[in-house]
Amino acid sequence: MTGEIRIGFSMHPRWAEAGKLEDFVKPLSQAGLSFFEFELDNHLEDWSEFVPLMESTFQMGLGLSFHAPYRHPHTLNGFAGSACTQIKDDYRPVLALAETWAQKSQKCRTVVIHAAVAKEPADRKFLIADTQAFLLWVLEEFPDLQLALENNHPARPGEIKVGVNPDDVLALINSIHHPRLGACWDMGHDFLRHSADEPSQDWIKKVVHIHVHDVASNGEDHFPLIFGRVPYIRWLAAWKELAGGGGVVLELKGNHLQNWSPAQIETALKTSIFSLSEVLK
């Protein structure tokens, strides 16, 4: 293992409401946290609070990574065709924001991207072409960004998704073959494919960023590491041996914890971050 490994958390302004950012960060930093990941979706209800929060966390000495928007109305569908200009106009402002951070620090340059998704009866080959064209555009227009193409959540009824299987993500990456394009291994998504097998060495060697979260018995994902279902310890150990470093993000959805007490939440987050730190030290 030659590269630096950093441990992060999927940050949202609601985690640090009422000016309690330092109180939120301190126990996680003590457990091994060194950066936050921010979603770049300018349609989020609290979007106006994201940029100030990015600045505050950076001033505290933390790094940043980013997740490109993927929810409606954002879409990659049609990027290789007639919707190209419209999609560029939609994504350019938020990717330019990530670029400004990448220019400030090498610790702030990774952007996670989902491959194209559409409703049935979309044609997979067009979604692949849209994804390839979008990645090539981002690589050209934003030269300071490191892109990480994520293995998507398995398709839900009525959806057509590309890039669910790691081998399909790997094929997309290899079709472009660019030094600033790697893979984001979402281990929860991988588990939801009903696969606990270790992916190929070719895949692992391309992984520059990781999302880790646990999955409840009903199939809901993005929980802290409390259920023991996702084999992240084994998978992270394999990645540590073969890859060249990168970020490992505890990626959660806060609404899953809305009925938990503050003490329960702090314990689950701190324990999860510490567990990742122990595996990766």
pLDDT digits (tens, 9 = 90+) for 220-254: 999 999 999 999 999 999 999 998 899 999 999 99
Residue with tokens 């999609």: 87
Q: Is the Cα dihedral 186, 187, 189, 194 positive or negative?
A: positive
CATH, domain range 5-280:
3.20.20.150
| Cα–Cα distance for residue pair 50/167, rounded to 1 Å | 34
Rounded to 5 degrees, φ, ψ at 32 are: 130, 0
Cα-based angle 44, 105, 254 (whole degrees, multiple of 5): 30
Q: What is the mean pLDDT of the chain?
A: 95
Q: Note the pLDDT tens digit of each residue in 96-149.
A: 999 999 999 999 999 999 999 999 999 999 999 999 999 999 999 999 999 999
Distance CA 45, CA 48 (A): 8
3-state SS assignment for residue 246: strand
